[in-house]
Structure 1
Amino acid sequence: MTTLDHWGGTSLYADLDGPVHYVDFGGDGPTVVLVHGLGGSHLNWCLLAPHLVDRHRVLAVDLAGFGLTHPEGRSTTVPANARLLERFLAEVVGEPVALVGNSMGGMISILHAARRPETVTALALLDPALPLALGARLDPQVAAAFAAYTVPGLGAWFLAKSRAGVSTRRQVKRVLNMVCANAKTVPEEVILASMSLLEQRAEVPGLDEAFLTAARSVVWTGATSRRYYTAMSRVRVPVYLMAGEKDRLVPLASAREAARRNPSWRFEVLDGVGHVPQVEAPELVAGRIKDWLV
């Protein structure tokens, strides 16, 4: 066990056909489980979690291939990580939870809630990965990166080239500039923790392939929009969809379309926020979630 400085969480592992890392932030009340996005980890939640623990027990899980849950031969597709989340809830948590999912984690949370509704009490979606709405345009840099990820060989070359001669700080800042509307608001302690995690992961085999497999699966799930929208329609618990106005990865039009198709969902656009509201506006997001879950 390792206590995470600054955020008060305890780092733990569960054996779910291999080690699965998660952070228990403590707290009293109904359990909330936080599910990160593509390329993310438990660190994506370290600013949000402390604002939830006054009313909830808060856990953040690292999906297979991300954070400190190394692939070790396990699949990292969206369906595979949805199954991992199902086992985590059943074998580690053991009670129905409110799921909070960001990006790919939002997609996985939707699929899980549709398939196992008895395990979920509510679903908060922070800029979840969604089908591209008709007429919506992807950010050119995002489109180019995901196009590279989908091509065998090119994706691996693209990832290796993006790291060559680039410091860990620069790698972290580059990602933050992509996912945040204003990366300068991210605290230095988060940047340092992200650098440390990146350095830990540098020696782990198979991480690039794990990332590319997950990225391709996200693209495929979003592209099979009819099936994905059907899964959304089968979610029977309360849903709160938040969309960053300045999200470069999931166009706001896609969030509006998902909300239009699911009129029972609560929908809110967060002005001046990008793809990771829990990092850019943690107090605001936590306040919204707590008021909604009452």
Structure 2
Amino acid sequence: MKKLIFGLLLLLAAGATTLYYSPGALLASMQLVERQLAGLSHEQITVGDLSIHYYQGGPVDAPTILMLHGFGANKDNWLRFARHFTERYRVIAIDLPGFGDSSKPAASYDVGTQVERVAAFTQALNIERLHLIGNSMGGHIGALYAARYPDQVLSVALFANAGITAPQKSQLIEILERGEANPLVVNAPEDFDRLLNFVFVDVPYLPAKVKQYMASEGVANRALNQEIFGHLVNRYIPLEPELAKIQAPTLLLWGEQDRALHVSSIEVMRPLLREPMVVVMKDCGHLPMIERPAEAAMHYQAFLDNAD
């Protein structure tokens, strides 16, 4: 028995040492814990010539919620938010092509093209009706999807969505118009802290080594991210002409201190939609589902209850 206990202690010590010196392994362990808490599994499907990775959880015969992340992000953005919905819904959080573990083809990444890729993904999974939720670029894609496929969409929730010319310019727009570096692209390791401080009011805790690892990953992806951002700007599809085509109930949820996309976008969208529900979260930035996941989930559940 003493030898067994000693052996287990050695294994634990070796595992701890591996995690300490391998921030990638530590991050993977953290993600695994979050997935288990959310009741999600990591899945992959081939759609055309694309390999699409996604998280899935909840009853397969329940209504589907499809979650679309923003620019430079991936399916992990939804982990703490998703755990509030997997008891009642089939939850799917996708890595959009160009991001996360999904394919990164030498092709277009404008929102119109991404909408059709998402439509092909839902068809491959035999999803006939769904609730859509998207943040930032993902909200732009989700709104355009709801406009193009109104018979398929049960509801659409837009968390600080792109695609609107706001009455008041955001700090991101002002920075880009001055020709300064895009704060959403990590060009050097020190840019990662700047990114976190830009998109959050209260930056979530990350272990130092995990933060360093994520910064290095951001630097490694900078060329593709710059290319994708260029497609979003140069092949821009405005939402204003599309919103009236959305038939489903719509939630507009924004962080009041969003520096990337200004909260005044709501003023443009509200009259163009069919009785939208509007929520503005105080002391919150661009990623409410990460910064305050329980509160954002409460608002979203209230919206779903009202939409049913």
Q: Identify the TM-score tier after normalising by the shorter chain.
A: 0.7 to 0.9
User: Which moved further from structure 2: 116-125 or 252-261?
Assistant: 252-261
Is residue 265 of structure 2 the alignment partner of residue 247 of structure 1? no
Once residues 39 and 104 of structure 1 are traced to their aligned partners in structure 2, the CA distance between those partners, rounded to angstroms, is 9
1:213-257 alpha-carbon deviations (Å, 9 max, x no partner): 4323433566x64xx212111000110111110011111111222
Once residues 264 and 285 of structure 1 are traced to their aligned partners in structure 2, the CA distance between those partners, rounded to angstroms, is 20
The alpha-carbon deviation at position 70 of structure 1 amounts to 3.3
Once residues 210 and 285 of structure 2 are traced to their aligned partners in structure 1, the CA distance between those partners, rounded to angstroms, is 21
1:230-245 matches, within 5 Å, as 230-245=241-256
Equivalent of residue 132 in structure 2, options 76, 92, 99:
99
Give the equivalent residue in structure 2 for 1:82.
115
Give the equivalent residue in structure 2 for 1:174.
194
1:128-277 matches, within 5 Å, as 128-134=161-167, 136-139=168-171, 143-145=174-176, 162-163=187-188, 166=189, 170-183=190-203, 186-188=204-206, 207-220=221-234, 225=238, 228-262=239-273, 264-277=275-288
1:57-88 alpha-carbon deviations (Å, 9 max, x no partner): 11100111111113132322211111111111
Once residues 75 and 259 of structure 1 are traced to their aligned partners in structure 2, the CA distance between those partners, rounded to angstroms, is 30
AA matched with 1:4: L
Structure 1, unpaired ranges of 5+: none
Is residue 18 of structure 2 the alignment partner of residue 4 of structure 1? no
1:37-76 matches, within 5 Å, as 37-76=70-109
Once residues 179 and 54 of structure 2 are traced to their aligned partners in structure 1, the CA distance between those partners, rounded to angstroms, is 31
CA pair 60-15 structure 1, distance change in 2 beyond 3 A: same
Once residues 278 and 146 of structure 2 are traced to their aligned partners in structure 1, the CA distance between those partners, rounded to angstroms, is 18
Equivalent of residue 21 in structure 1, options 38, 46, 53:
53
Structure 2, unpaired ranges of 5+: 1-28
CA pair 14-193 structure 1, distance change in 2 beyond 3 A: farther
RMSD: 2.9
Is residue 155 of structure 2 the alignment partner of residue 127 of structure 1? no
Once residues 252 and 276 of structure 2 are traced to their aligned partners in structure 1, the CA distance between those partners, rounded to angstroms, is 7
Once residues 231 and 192 of structure 1 are traced to their aligned partners in structure 2, the CA distance between those partners, rounded to angstroms, is 44
CA pair 260-220 structure 1, distance change in 2 beyond 3 A: farther
Once residues 143 and 134 of structure 2 are traced to their aligned partners in structure 1, the CA distance between those partners, rounded to angstroms, is 8
Structure 1 residue matching 2:270: 3-state secondary structure: helix
User: Which moved further from structure 2: 66-75 or 265-274?
Assistant: 66-75
Once residues 219 and 130 of structure 1 are traced to their aligned partners in structure 2, the CA distance between those partners, rounded to angstroms, is 10
State the percentage of identical aligned residues: 24
CA pair 70-148 structure 1, distance change in 2 beyond 3 A: farther
AA matched with 1:188: L
AA matched with 1:12: E
Which structure has the larger Rg? 2
AA matched with 1:13: Q
Equivalent of residue 282 in structure 1, options 286, 293, 305:
293
1:132-184 alpha-carbon deviations (Å, 9 max, x no partner): 223x1221x553347759xxxx98xx957x31xx2xxx55433221111221x
CA pair 172-208 structure 1, distance change in 2 beyond 3 A: closer
CA pair 212-193 structure 1, distance change in 2 beyond 3 A: same
User: Which moved further from structure 2: 174-183 or 56-65?
Assistant: 174-183
AA matched with 1:19: S
Contact 1:39-1:66 at 8 Å conserved across structures: yes
AA matched with 1:6: E
Once residues 210 and 76 of structure 2 are traced to their aligned partners in structure 1, the CA distance between those partners, rounded to angstroms, is 8
CA pair 60-198 structure 1, distance change in 2 beyond 3 A: farther
AA matched with 1:249: A
Once residues 69 and 146 of structure 1 are traced to their aligned partners in structure 2, the CA distance between those partners, rounded to angstroms, is 31
Greater relative contact order, per chain length (Cα 8 Å cut-off, separation 6+)? 1
